[in-house]
Amino acid sequence: MALERATLARERGNDFFKENKHAEANQQYAEAIALLQEASSPSADAAALREALHKCRLNRAACLLKLQGYSAAGQEATLVLKEDPSNAKAHYRQAQALEAIGDLERAKAAFAEAIKLNPSWREPRAELEALRSRCKENPRLAQGLQDMMLVETRGFQSLNHADLKTSRKQMELLLKDARQLKATHWETRALLALALLCEEEAECEAASDYLLAARRHIDASNDRLAEVYFLQSSAVVLLDQGNAEEARARLEQGLLLADEMCETGLANRIVGNLATAHLKCGDMGRALEYGAQALQCAKDKGDANFEAICSAIVGQAHRTRGNAAAARPLLERAISIAASLGNAHTLGHALVQLGLLLVNDGSNPAEMETGFMHLKRAVEISSENGLLRTACDDVHDLHVAQLRLKRTLRDESLAALEAALAQAKDIGYRDAQVRLYTAIGMGRMLPGVGDSATSEDLTLAEAALRQGLEVAQKVGDASAAALLHEHLSKLYLLQAERLNAAEADAARERALTHAQTACDAPAASAADKARRLTQSAVARLLAHRAAADPLAAAEAARAQLEVACQLAADAAQEARAAIAMSAALETLGRSGESLAALERAAALDTRLPSASYERYLLASAECKAEGDAEGAIANLKAALKQL
């Protein structure tokens, strides 16, 4: 039965092949092979099954050669030769695959073996003669192709070690050799590698030029493998520039093509890139899905470097989701492997993620200290190795954490962030500019150790946030723009407390407008939506006095907070929404429900100073009962300020 079904699948594959539908033919041959591998039969039928399997493998090899899946085609031929060393067609298919990947000496030997086993076969003889003629015209060709593989490997190793100078020399040598040998495929790969290096060194125009040159070669040569490399490399550049959505689209296209060609190694790398793209898009579920798949492939292949990269990606996704228990061992594993291999890129990335995890947990002072040590070490690694873009990001992560937890004088961190912003401007790193403007704005809004936010600070904060919003809108980063609208909402609520009544009401209206703009923007995750709804509700509650119908405004805030509580990604986020809900219910005169919401918040997040909220809210209720509207409002505002 299995043999019959496999035969039918092979015949369907043959029909597709004749129609030049090679992708469809490949699928049918793969189905036939799977059926034959699963089949069990009496020993009398074993020879027939083996012969059928070999036919399917060799048909698939021919199909993969048409698809330019040369490595997979060679593997199919090799599997046949392991069981049948005298199979002339297997030697021929292997020779064709070897020639295509540039292993010319082994290709000559395989062609010769096919001719020896079947002397009357003209095709391998003609192709061998053509190959010998190529090598005679260019005596350096065979060795040159082998050398280029080695040069590319060394170049990427140097890049992993953050030795950018050596890596560039290797890739420039690769480009020179490829042009001398007229090896268009390798010239394209060299151009793509140089594009990645230029992007790493913040030479964005040069990176774009290299990508365009590679694109021209691919368009002229119809090189499908080079097309996959182009889609991957250009996506990495787009990710670096903050355009995660377009990068994701290119990676998905590249993955489809790599899968069609059965280029499993390259496909696995693209899966890892897709995990990063989904991380940057805020889709942690897909990031974990792709990251886990890539990580398992790395382990199966015994690829320690790729395992470290994937461990860091999956660890980051778990950390972002609030799953510290899952994130920590992965990040520690990534650090261990990257340190042993000298992979500065992955080491710095994993140190930042583990540092943020330990710092944000906040429950263990010793581990918080370790977390800050990791963040500082990451800054040292990126700065010492000339990783300009990464250094901007690392400085941002360190000083935002220090500001938030008041670990340093505010002006010291602000100075470091300003210096990083100047560097980001110099190198045209607009994605980092948005984050750094945001951090500077927020830093000026929050008092640090020995500092307090002044009216001048708030004015400077407004300028920074507005500049960040302008850059975010220019680069089309809707998520960053929405976050900046949230922060501007918080800023205007702070400013309102320093203004007279009329000006304060106007400031609160501006706060509500920005909060609502953030709410209306597409949210990458439920957590983003919950946070935006909470900020909008807080702004609505504080602005309700100037509203035409204050109770309607409070009811609208309550409805928003109900949704925010449902969407909250973790207990802390839900607790903050519950605190605001308590204030909304108090405004609506539902004191019992207000206290219940407050108790819910305290149960969700034990770190919240719930007594302060309760004291202010109870005082507000007492003032209201005594007819002191101004006192009730003042205490309600004091409760909300604790957010």
Domain harbouring 235, CATH code: 1.25.40.10
Residue 507: inside a domain: no
Residue 468 one-letter amino acid: G
CA distance 73 to 392: 45
Q: What size, in residues, is the chain?
A: 643
CA distance 90 to 61: 9
Residue 575 pLDDT: 86
Q: Is there a single domain that holds both residue 182 and residue 62?
A: no
Residue 432: inside a domain: no
Which residue has 């990068």 as its token pair? 247
**Which candidate, 209, 217, 264, 228, places its Cα nearest to that of 71?**
264
Sign of CA dihedral 292, 293, 298, 299: positive
CB 346, CB 312: distance < 8 Å: yes
Residue 525: inside a domain: no
CA distance 150 to 152: 5
Residue 447: inside a domain: no
**Which candidate, 23, 63, 69, places its Cα nearest to that of 264?**
69
Of 264-268, 367-371, 500-504, 509-513, the poorest mean pLDDT is in 500-504
Give the structural domain span for 151: 142-312
CA distance 584 to 636: 9
State the average pLDDT for the chain: 88
595: exposed, middle or buried (C-beta count within 10 Å: 0-12, 13-18, 19+)?
middle
Which residue intervals of 222-320 are DSSP H helices? 224-240, 244-260, 264-281, 284-301, 304-320
| Structure-block tokens of residue 340 | 């042993």
Which residue has 């890049």 as its token pair? 159
**For 207-235, what is the mean pLDDT?**
94
Neighbours of 551 (CB within 10 A): 12
Residue 17: inside a domain: yes
Residue 343: inside a domain: no
pLDDT tops 60 at residue 403? yes
Residue 600 pLDDT: 83
| Structure-block tokens of residue 365 | 């002072």
Q: Is there a single domain that holds both residue 269 and residue 146?
A: yes
Q: Is there a single domain that holds both residue 240 and residue 279?
A: yes
Total number of domains constituting the chain: 2
Q: Is there a single domain that holds both residue 36 and residue 7?
A: yes
DSSP secondary structure letter of residue 180: H
Contacts of 221-225 with CB under 8 Å at 24 or more apart are 221/184, 221/185, 221/188, 223/68, 223/184, 223/185, 223/188, 224/67, 224/68, 224/257, 224/261, 225/68, 225/70, 225/185, 225/261, 225/263
pLDDT tops 90 at residue 589? no
CA distance 206 to 428: 12
Helix 224-240 crosses helix 264-281 at what angle (to 10 degrees)?
20
CA distance 351 to 378: 6
Residue 121: inside a domain: yes
CB 430, CB 238: distance < 8 Å: no
Q: What percent of the chain has pLDDT over 90?
A: 60
Give residues with Cβ within 8 angstroms of 569, minimum separation 6. Answer: 321, 322, 525, 526, 527, 530
Compare 618 and 504 and report the one with higher pLDDT: 504
Q: Is there a single domain that holds both residue 289 and residue 196?
A: yes
CA distance 520 to 22: 47
CA distance 143 to 257: 30
Helix, strand or coil, per DSSP, at residue 262: coil
Domain edge (last residue) among 291, 312, 333? 312
pLDDT tops 70 at residue 126? yes
Of 73-77, 203-207, 328-332, 452-456, the poorest mean pLDDT is in 452-456
Q: Is there a single domain that holds both residue 134 and residue 202?
A: no
Write down the pTM of the prediction: 0.82
CB 101, CB 132: distance < 8 Å: no
Diameter of the chain measured on Cα atoms: 110
Residue 35: inside a domain: yes
CA distance 538 to 511: 10
54: exposed, middle or buried (C-beta count within 10 Å: 0-12, 13-18, 19+)?
buried
Of 5-19, 153-167, 318-332, the poorest mean pLDDT is in 153-167
**DSSP for 485-501?**
HHHHHHHHHHHHTTS-H
Neighbours of 132 (CB within 10 A): 13
Residue 544 pLDDT: 63
631: exposed, middle or buried (C-beta count within 10 Å: 0-12, 13-18, 19+)?
middle
| Highest mean pLDDT of the ranges 30-44, 332-346, 614-628 | 332-346
Domain edge (last residue) among 312, 331, 357? 312
What percentage of the chain's residues is helix, strand, coil (to nearest 5)? 85, 0, 15
- Count of helix runs (H) and strand runs (E) in the chain: 31, 0
| Structure-block tokens of residue 419 | 């210096």
Which residue intervals of 122-223 are DSSP H helices? 122-137, 141-160, 164-181, 184-200, 204-221
Q: Is there a single domain that holds both residue 167 and residue 42?
A: no
Q: Is there a single domain that holds both residue 122 and residue 158?
A: no
pLDDT tops 50 at residue 182? yes
Confidence of residue 451 (pLDDT cuts 50, 70, 90): low
Q: Is there a single domain that holds both residue 121 and residue 189?
A: no
**Which candidate, 492, 485, 494, 448, places its Cα nearest to that of 465?**
485
pLDDT tens track for 523-575: 877 888 999 999 999 899 888 665 668 888 889 999 999 999 999 877 888 88
pLDDT tops 60 at residue 389? yes
Q: Is there a single domain that holds both residue 79 and residue 117?
A: yes
CB 416, CB 422: distance < 8 Å: no
Domain edge (last residue) among 109, 141, 173? 141
Residue 25 pLDDT: 94
| Conformation bin of residue 590: beta by default, left when phi > 0, alpha when psi is -120 to 50 | beta
Q: Is there a single domain that holds both residue 151 and residue 12?
A: no
Q: Is there a single domain that holds both residue 109 and residue 257?
A: no
**For 449-478, what is the mean pLDDT?**
86
Angle at 68 between CA 87 and CA 114, to 5 degrees: 20
